Amino acid sequence: MILLLGATGYMGQAFATELRRRGYNFIPLTRQAFDYTSFDLLFDYVRKMRPEFIINAAGYVGKPNEETCELEHGETLFANTFLPQTIEKVCSMTNTPWGHISSGNIYCGAKVFQNREKRIVRDLQQSEIQELHASHPEMFFGFTEWDEPNYSFRCAPCSFYSGSKALAEESIRNNKQTYIWRPALPFNERDERRNFISRVKRYSGVRDGIHSLSHLEDFVTACLELWERQSPYGIYNIANPGVITRGQLLDMMARNLDSGSGYEFGKEKDTDRYYRLGTELPQASYILDVSKLLATGIRMRPVRAALQDSLRKWQAAATLEMAGVGDN
C-alpha cells in the first residue's frame, strides 16, 4: 500500500491518476482530512498502516504564482521545508522508503563551455546568451544532481519559494531510502494555473529565457518507474530532454492553436495579475541535466515532441468544446 500526501494538489492529482491506472492500492491523504503535518499523528498512522512507500506531493507554491511566497514566509517554510523534515523523520524511524517532489527552480542559468573554459551564466534572458544558444546549443549544459543549488538562501538572490525547496533538500538528502524528484517547469494539455503553456497564453510579460520543461504525466511516470525498478535512491532531475524558449513556444502555439482554444495570447498584463506583487525577483530560467535519469533506462520524450503532443490535444479538446461535445 502507498500513502499519497497532498493528493488534491496539482502534482498529487497527477500521481493519484497514474496510481489508479497502474492498479496500485493507495490512500490519498489531504490536510483537511488528516493532519499529516503533525509528527505524532503521522508517525502513529505510518506505524499502524505500514505502507510500502510514501509519496510527498504536498507543498506551497503561492497563488497566483510563486511570488506570493514573498509575502507568506510562514506558510511557505511550513509546507516546503518543515513538512519534508517531518516526513523524513517519520520514514527514518519506521524504515519506510519515500519520494519527495522538489523543484528544478533551485537553479538559475546554465553551464556554458566556450573557448575551452566553463562558466556559469545565471541570466539566460540576456539577448547575447540567447543568440549564442541559438547558434551554438552544444556549448550549453544543464545542472546535474551533484551541483549545489545556486538559486537558494545560501546563494542569494533567490525567491523565497526556491530557497524553501533547496533548504528541504539539504535537510533530507542524506536519508538512505529517499527519492528526491526534481521537475522543471511543468506543462501538459490542460489549462491550469501552474501549466507553463497556460502562463504563456495568458500573460503578456512572462519573461523569456532558455527553459527545461517537464510534461506532468511524463514526470509522474518517471518517478514511479524509478521506484518500481528499484533504482538507487537519491536525487533525480526529471525533465523532458531538450530546452525551449518562450519565443519558440509562442511559435509552436501560433501554429497549433487557433482563437477557439482558450485565452488570447498575452491577454492579461503581468502587473495586473501574474506579477501582481511588483517585486524585482530574479527569474529562474534554468537548464537541467537529465543524464542520470536516462542512465537508469527510463525514457522521456524530447521536450518539443511532448509540447507538440500537448498542443495537439489542447486544440482537439477546444474543438470538441466549441462543438458542444463534452461532459455535462
Per-residue pLDDT of the chain (328 residues; tens, 9 = 90+): 999 999 999 999 999 999 999 999 999 998 888 999 999 999 999 999 999 999 999 998 877 666 777 888 899 999 999 999 999 999 999 999 999 999 999 999 999 998 889 999 999 989 899 999 999 999 999 999 999 999 999 998 899 999 999 999 999 999 999 999 999 999 999 988 889 998 888 765 566 789 999 999 999 999 999 999 999 999 999 999 999 998 899 999 988 887 555 445 555 444 334 344 444 555 579 999 999 999 999 999 999 999 999 999 988 776 655 455 444 4
SS (H, E, C) 203-220: ECCCCCCEECEEEHHHHH
Find out whether 192 and 310 touch, Cβ atoms under 8 Å: no
DSSP conformation class of 150? S
SS (H, E, C) 118-138: EEEECCCCCHHHHHHHHHCHH
Residues 104, 288: Cα–Cα separation, whole Å: 7
The CATH class, in words, for 2-322 is alpha beta
Domain residue extents for the chain: 2-322
pTM score, whole prediction: 0.91
Q: Which residues of 252-284 are buried (b: 16+ CB within 10 A; e: fewer)?
A: bbeeebeeebbeeeeebebeeebbeeeeebbbb
Residue identified by cell 493507495 is 26
Give the contacts of 33 (CB within 8 A, at least 6 positions apart): none
